Amino acid sequence: MLKSRLIDELRKRPDDLFTLCSGLVQIPSENPPGDTSKLAAFIRDHLAVQGLAVEWHEPKAGRPNLVASIGSGSGPNVVLSGHLDEFPAGQGWTRPPFSGAIEGGRIWGRGAGDMKAGLAVALTIVSLVRELEIPLAGRLTLAFASDEETGGAWGTQWLLANVPAVHGDACLIGESSGTWSAGIGEKGVLWLRLRSRGVSGHAAYQQGTSAVAAVRGALAAIEPMHGRRARAEKAVAGVILGQRGAADRRWGRGTGRLADTVALSVGTLEGGGQVNLIPASAMAEVDFRVPPGLTTAAIESEARRRIRQASRGKVEVEVFNQCDPYVTPPEARLVKHVLANAKQLNRRKVLPVVRLGYTDGRFFRRAGIPTVVYGPAVHNMGGPDEYIETADLLEVAAVHAGAVLDLLAPGAA
């Protein structure tokens, strides 16, 4: 009965959820520059009105992290994780980027789906659990971090290293996924910076050593690594196989085969300064996405070897972002509860998937914490006129609420 009460109350008051999401969108938290103080203060005050004590951790100025808990200290600890920062608004909007307008079944604005919606879901669930005085056989913890869009070093990584309450028994993240899929794993990421120094000289006389040529040769040497297929363990391979057709339909043609292959992209290129001079310096930054079944260490080692051979030691390699692929087992209780609640409450069949991009979920999984990413589809993410569907948002909130009570109030249906 408790679970039914919670879901019924949520569905009777959808405008509370939508209005909260809209209010969060109206507070810019663009990263860069990364200052989320105003948004964090709004959330702290919102929770304080409900009598919740909020821990404010600010390891880097302007990038606070918030932690709050309800329930008892005994029993499991379920973490609702989210990030406070968002992409810069950019140009090209047909409406104000921070309007938070609720129109035509949509909530508009930068960060609406990535991820003010997920924050609103977590805050709403905590509020309703307290209001309805639902007894929890454990703790429900909010962990809201800054710095997700630029790597997470001062956000979730810092929280997991310094705040014991964030080490839960399960973690649910309302990051955008689409109501058709639940992210139980993510490809690993490896970012390499390649630098070369040459000797400048007049191009007409060819008396110099081109740093650009060295970097070009290094990039050509690692290009064959793109598309390499990995062998994941049987359960994960089954998940990847099952998502292929759906991924093509939802994410775009060709995306279905990316979950178990290495993806390589050259993101930046710099070199030289004048067309008629042989360039004395060059730099390139390379993004590898590493599927389950491979490690970033193995990819790094091979890339370094190929670059060293191709450039004869003239190109230096620096790693500036690295995290292995991690997957929560499909049979984990959290995964089963998310899928079951989507089916029971929304009549929706949800596929467990390995996400192509990463979220803060990778840090929880690396710490051994079962983690699922389930949120509304975000339209135009990172571009102008970002929005989410209110129907998606309500569906996601119901699934999160149901899964939380299945874990913290078993038998309360």
The model's pTM is 0.92
Q: Which of 297, 323, 349 is the last residue before a domain boundary?
A: 323
One digit per residue, the tens of pLDDT, for the chain of length 413 reads 789 999 999 999 999 999 999 999 999 999 999 999 999 999 999 999 999 999 999 999 999 999 999 998 789 999 999 999 999 999 999 999 999 999 999 999 999 999 999 999 999 999 999 999 999 999 999 999 998 998 899 999 999 999 999 999 999 999 999 999 999 999 999 999 999 999 999 999 998 999 999 999 999 999 999 999 999 989 999 999 999 999 889 888 888 889 999 999 999 999 999 999 999 999 999 999 999 999 999 999 999 999 999 999 999 999 999 999 999 999 999 999 999 999 999 999 999 999 999 999 999 999 999 999 999 999 999 999 999 999 999 999 999 999 999 999 876 55
Enter the tokens of residue 329.
């087992």
In contact, 36 and 62? CB cutoff 8 Å = yes
Query: Containing domain of residue 229, as a range?
Result: 188-236+255-323
For residue 188, the cross-strand partners are 290
Q: Which of 265, 300, 323 is the last residue before a domain boundary?
A: 323
The CATH number given to whatever domain includes residue 171 is: 3.40.630.10
27 plus 77 within the same structural domain: yes
On whether residue 143 sits in a domain, the answer given is: yes
On whether residue 24 sits in a domain, the answer given is: yes
Residue 306 CA: distances (Å) to CA of 41, 180, 220, 270, 404 = 49, 40, 9, 21, 48
Instruction: With CA atoms as reference, report the closest residue to 151 among 259, 44, 51, 60.
Output: 60
CA dihedral 227, 228, 233, 234 (to 10 degrees): 60
The CATH number given to whatever domain includes residue 229 is: 3.30.70.360
pLDDT tens column, 145-156: 998 998 899 999
Instruction: Give the span between the Cα atoms of 349 and 252, in whole angstroms.
Output: 20
For 336, residues 6+ apart whose C-beta sits below 8 A from its C-beta are none
On whether residue 246 sits in a domain, the answer given is: no
Phi, psi angle pair for 97, to nearest 5°: -65, -15
Residue 301 burial (10 A CB sphere; 0-12, 13-18, 19+): exposed
SS3 content of the chain, % helix, strand, coil (to 5): 40, 25, 40
On whether residue 392 sits in a domain, the answer given is: yes
- Count Cα neighbours of 23 within 13 Å in the Cβ-side half-sphere: 17
8 plus 90 within the same structural domain: yes
52 plus 106 within the same structural domain: yes
Instruction: Give the span between the Cα atoms of 188 and 292, in whole angstroms.
Output: 8
In contact, 70 and 137? CB cutoff 8 Å = no
160 plus 281 within the same structural domain: no
Instruction: With CA atoms as reference, report the closest residue to 34 among 176, 150, 175.
Output: 150
57 plus 134 within the same structural domain: yes
218 plus 162 within the same structural domain: no
For 275, residues 6+ apart whose C-beta sits below 8 A from its C-beta are 203
9 plus 154 within the same structural domain: yes
142 plus 199 within the same structural domain: no
6 plus 132 within the same structural domain: yes
On whether residue 248 sits in a domain, the answer given is: no
In contact, 179 and 396? CB cutoff 8 Å = yes
57 plus 172 within the same structural domain: yes
Q: Which of 308, 323, 338 is the last residue before a domain boundary?
A: 323
Scan for tokens 């067309």, then name that residue: 275
330 plus 299 within the same structural domain: no
On whether residue 229 sits in a domain, the answer given is: yes
On whether residue 385 sits in a domain, the answer given is: yes
Number of domains in the chain: 2
On whether residue 272 sits in a domain, the answer given is: yes
196 plus 88 within the same structural domain: no
CB atoms within 10 A of CB 46: 16
pLDDT tens column, 60-114: 999 999 999 999 878 999 999 999 999 999 999 999 999 999 999 999 999 999 9
For 186, residues 6+ apart whose C-beta sits below 8 A from its C-beta are 325, 326, 327, 354, 355, 356, 357, 358, 359, 361, 362, 365
